[in-house]
Structure 1
Amino acid sequence: MRIAVIDGQGGGIGKVMVEKLRLSLAREDVEIIALGTNALASALMLKAGANEAASGENAIIYNAGRVDIIIGTIAVLIAHSMLGEFTPAMAAAVAASPAKKVLLHLNRANVEVVGVVDEPLPHLVDQLVERVRVLVEGKKNHRIPLWGGH
């Protein structure tokens, strides 16, 4: 199971996600790949416990289709998000990836998602990690399809 955590700017949100994923999924068959829009974000996520890290547009485009789950904020689907760090090509690659996307709904991308509860970031990350844990366990036990039911 390969999980990509995508973040940019300072990498703080990605760092928290990687730390909590690593604690919840302390298994050898789960590989966490940190994909940063810049070297700082990638390095912070690597230090937090990712198995591998890469940064930049090509790294995100190349790896988006080669993982089982993509983790990040809703900004990874929006061109020019993260103060312009997330390019249209990156957003298109993530959107087109067959990977299951488990995303946080932060309002920093100026997008409001109706029907979600406004919670503090730590609570949202806990919910995200729990969802990923269920997906990973489901994949192992063939209970929950990862590819949208296909």
Structure 2
Amino acid sequence: MRIAVVDGQGGGIGKHIMEKLRRELPDEVEFLALGTNALATSVMLRAGANEGATGENAVIFNARRVDLITGPVSILFPNAMLGELTPAMAAALGGSPAPKVLLPIVRGDVELVGMRAEPLPHLIDELVLRVKEYVRRGGGHAAG
């Protein structure tokens, strides 16, 4: 199974997701760090990603070639992350057949109703549990 962790700006959220998934999932699971910038990719690589790629083309190219996508929900919003996440990236990630397990973290003019306010570590723990369920079931989108 190949899991993409997508993040931008400083890569801090992706780093925390990557570290926790790396500790909790079997060694044969591959992690691809997809950063909107080189810093975010680098931070996620240091946190345990097997491979990393940066920028719009990398995100678009790989969105259909992974079994699961994770990161903050803002990766589905055009111009998120202060404009780092391009409309083409959002379309590719949202349109990917891979299941998405996303953190309900957004800044700006979007409000997610019905979400409980939880500290980031608790949200990441819940994300990891959901990803582990997909891995156990052999779920995801078999990219080919």
Q: TM-score, normalised by structure 1?
A: 0.90
Cα-Cα RMSD? 1.1
Percent identity (aligned): 61
Equivalent in the alignment of 2:134: 135
Q: Which runs of 5+ in 1 are unaligned?
A: 140-144
Counterpart AA for 1:22: R
Q: Does 1:146 align with 2:140?
A: yes
Rounded to whole Å, the distance in 1 between the matches of 2:140 and 2:61 is 20
Equivalent in the alignment of 2:91: 92
Rounded to whole Å, the distance in 1 between the matches of 2:108 and 2:137 is 31
Q: Does 1:55 align with 2:49?
A: no
**TM-superposed deviation, 1:109:** 4.6
Q: Which structure carries more relative contact order (alpha carbon 8 Å, separation 6+)? A: 2
Rounded to whole Å, the distance in 1 between the matches of 2:66 and 2:108 is 24
Rounded to whole Å, the distance in 2 between the matches of 1:56 and 1:20 is 24
The 5-angstrom pairing of residues 1-150 of structure 1 reads 1-28=1-28, 30-139=29-138, 145-146=139-140
**Residue correspondences, number:** 141
Equivalent position SS for 1:107: coil
Counterpart AA for 1:16: H
| Ranges of 4+ aligned residues in structure 1 off by more than 2 Å | none
Counterpart AA for 1:122: P
CA contact (8 A) 2:72 2:106 kept: no
**TM-superposed deviation, 1:112:** 1.6
Question: Residues 45-87 of structure 1: CA distance to partner in whole angstroms, max 9, x if unpaired?
Answer: 0000000001000000000000010001111100000000000
Counterpart AA for 1:58: N
Equivalent position SS for 2:115: coil
**TM-superposed deviation, 1:26:** 3.2
Question: Residues 101-148 of structure 1: CA distance to partner in whole angstroms, max 9, x if unpaired?
Answer: 000011315322222211001100010011001110011xxxxx536x
Rounded to whole Å, the distance in 1 between the matches of 2:68 and 2:78 is 20
Equivalent position SS for 1:35: strand
CA contact (8 A) 1:75 1:109 kept: no
